[in-house]
Amino acid sequence: MKAFFDYLESRCKESNSLLCVGLDPHPELLSKPSPISAREYCIKIIEECAEYACAFKPNSAFFEAFGAEGIDALYEVIGSVPDGIPVILDAKRGDIASTAQAYARSIFDYLGVDAVTYSPYLGSDSIMPFVERPDSGVFVLCKTSNDGSNDLQSLKSNGEYLYMHVARQAQNWSQYNNLGLVVGATDPRAVEIVRQVAPTLWFLCPGVGMQGGDLAAAMQAGLREDSMGILINVSRSIASSTDPRKVAKELRDAINSERHLSDKKKQNYFTKGIGDGLLESGCVQFGEFTLKSGIQSPFYIDLRRLSSFPNVLRSVADVISSMLVDLEFNCIAAIPYAALPIGTAVALNTDASLIYPRREVKDYGTGAEIEGVFEAGDTAVVMDDLVTSGESKFETINILQAAGLLVRDVVVLIDREQGAEKTLASHGYKLHAVFTIRELLDEWKLSGSIKSEQYSAAMNYLSSPS
């Protein structure tokens, strides 16, 4: 028996499509609000769009509103979908024991759909009747596309968003390849975060079109490395058009354009633009500079300038926020001064607590050596703008540890690649860098942002003995 996502992937490859066409017969879109009109409306969309759809997703509520006749109409709509095209019922079921079993029988046995959307609020035992059949798929609500999704889904639980916890737990809820997640296109950063938490699961991604979700952002954030793993669900943008077939083709083609982006662009959705932003803001300059050590350098990095360029700072905060997803910590410890605006922006992004060690301890007031609120036993992730040898980070780490804080990780924007990773590792700390300086230099050379002689001088400098 073929597992649901094996079946879905076969259809995606056959149709060269990741477009899921939603069938939502809103009363205002019907010639007359009736089960017959709803059925005819949906069947017309199916006939128009089948060539370009990898799946169809009828919304059960619009049929249930017509009572028993509406359920009969839904049954006929499902039966009209051509063989080989999966049908996902948007029903958002969720209950326990015999009730859950009854829902599963009605959905998979009577209506005959291939998959269903599901609310995880009742926990793992409630979903068992839905995932025990390998050929029946379940999309668990994770981070939905509606405005109110943050009311609950973005609450913190054990240091991470609730939707991240759902994504982690859901991966253990089925022994078959038949469980995916609903992640809305209206929050591409959440899509990126969930993709990091669940790198192999399929996403059902609503919100493109009428809800304002950005297709390119959702695709770049949610695609797996095999250019699969995300269904872009669109309903009203297709249904309200005068030519649904044309719109479906355009959407299919737009989705495929994003799929065919280079691996570099897909992997660097959040980092794109940062490299050039660092040059344009003067945070990285080329010329002849005397460093504090007295050594002459062909480039100079001054990330204190970031605070004057909010667009670049925002991009930096986004990418660092995504790096923090898999780290365990209670607070961010930003090292003054360059890391303070970065740490503040990341804290605003992630709702994490920010603390920082003072450069000079006051001899009045509280005399605090560390500003901010924390408790002994908390874990702090150390954040700075860049790292060279890594030795200077121990001053901050020692202050934090003396106050009872635990430190495991150091996060920076740029690693100058002068031994920091090895130095920190020898003391039990892991370095996480958005860029190495060589990666930036390679990017700038490739894009033509710096001259060949500037690139050569910088690479020679980095390769010379310190």
CA pseudo-torsion sign 316, 319, 322, 327: negative
Beta bridge mates, 387: 415
CA separation, residue 352 to residues 144, 377, 398 (Å): 22, 16, 22
The residue length of the chain stands at 466
Under 8 Å between Cβ of 18 and 227:
no
Q: What is the DSSP letter of 59?
A: B
CA separation for the pair 121, 128 (Å, rounded): 13
Active site (annotated) includes residue 92 = yes
CA angle 298, 411, 360 (to 5 degrees): 85
Of 92, 249, 272, 445, which one is the catalytic site residue? 92
Burial of 87 (0-12, 13-18, 19+ CB in 10 A): buried
Contact between 177 and 347 under an 8 Å Cβ cutoff? The reply is no
Query: Could you tell me if 194 and 143 are in contact, meaning their C-beta atoms sit under 8 angstroms apart?
Result: yes
Helices (H) and strands (E) in the chain, counts: 20, 18
Is the previous residue joined to 356 through a cis bond, with omega within 30 degrees of 0? no
Helix (H, G, I), strand (E, B) or coil at 183: strand
Q: Confirm if 86 and 58 have CB atoms less than 8 A apart.
A: no
Q: How far is it, in rounded angstroms, from Cα 429 to Cα 427? A: 6
259 vs 133, 183, 237, 447, CA distance in Å? 31, 18, 21, 22
Q: Residue 262 carries which side chain, given as an amino acid letter?
A: S
Give me the amino acid identity at 284.
Answer: V
What is the identity of the amino acid at 394? F
Radius of gyration, CA atoms only, the chain: 26
Active site residues: 92
